[in-house]
Structure 1
Amino acid sequence: MVTLTVILVAIGFYFFYQTSERAYPSRTLRVERWMYMKQQPAKSLGAICLITAIFPAIAHWGAVAGVLFFLVTLMTVGSLIVLLTPLRIIGYRSLAVVALVSLLIEITF
């Protein structure tokens, strides 16, 4: 549940980040080009991801703690995206590997 929530928050925030006017679009990936060209559907998908991310947190920890976890995750992931995306330090493959390992650890233990 934790990994799913963090992944959904990251995807939702990244959609909003790429559609902002201040973000410099790299347009190297087809998804990033689509987000740049079709901003309204991208913002809608980002909102759907963020709204969907709050439900597993509430189901796992309860109403207040789930919302608090969602907000803390949103702030943490958001600051990491704003800081690291322009620097191109972390790629999509490394993020996918980290998410997969985290999901496997969460399921195993």
Structure 2
Amino acid sequence: MYTIVIGFTTVGFILNYLSSRRVILSSHTVLRTWAYANASTSKVLGLASLTLGLILHIMQLGFGSGIFSFLVILMTAGSLVVLLYPLNIFNFRVLLLLFAISLILELFI
């Protein structure tokens, strides 16, 4: 369950990050191009993903702990995205691979 919540939070931050007009990236990936061209849709999807992550955190951990855990994960994911996305280390394929490995480890170990 934590993997899914972290995934929603990270994807929400990435969508909001890529839809910003201030972000200047050297590479133009499919997600970057779509988010930049459809900024309002990307922001709505990003906020919906962040809200869903927050609600799932609150349902799983309780009100206070859920909000605190969500904020910690949001700060961590945001720092990683801002630092690693311009270096082309943090793209959609890497995120999907990390999500799959984390989900398999969470469910079966």
TM-score by length of 2: 0.91
Once residues 7 and 14 of structure 2 are traced to their aligned partners in structure 1, the CA distance between those partners, rounded to angstroms, is 10
Spell out, residue by residue over 1:15-64, the C-alpha distance to the aligned partner (whole angstroms, 9 max, x if none): 110111221243221x3211111111110110000001012211111111
The yes-or-no answer on 1:77 pairing with 2:53 is no
Match of 2:19 in 1: 19
- Tell me the secondary structure at the aligned position of residue 107 of structure 2: helix
Matches of residues 23-102 of structure 1 in structure 2 within 5 Å?
23-25=23-25, 26-29=27-30, 31-102=31-102
For structure 1, list consecutive stretches of 5 or more residues without a partner in the other structure: none
After superposition, the CA RMSD in angstroms is 1.3
Paired residues in the alignment total 108
Give me the identity figure in percent.
35
The residue type equivalent to 1:32 in the other structure is: R
Letter in 2 for 1:9: T
User: What is the DSSP-based 3-state SS (H/G/I as helix, E as strand, rest coil) of the residue aligned with 1:5?
Assistant: helix
Query: Unaligned stretches of 5+ in structure 2?
Result: none
User: SS state of the match for residue 21, structure 1?
Assistant: coil
Report what 1:103 is aligned to.
Answer: 103
Counterparts of 2:62 and 2:72, CA distance in 1: 15
Check conservation: 2:81, 2:90, Cα contact below 8 A.
no
**Partners of 1:73 and 1:39 in 2: CA distance:** 24
Distance 2:4 2:62 in 1: 16
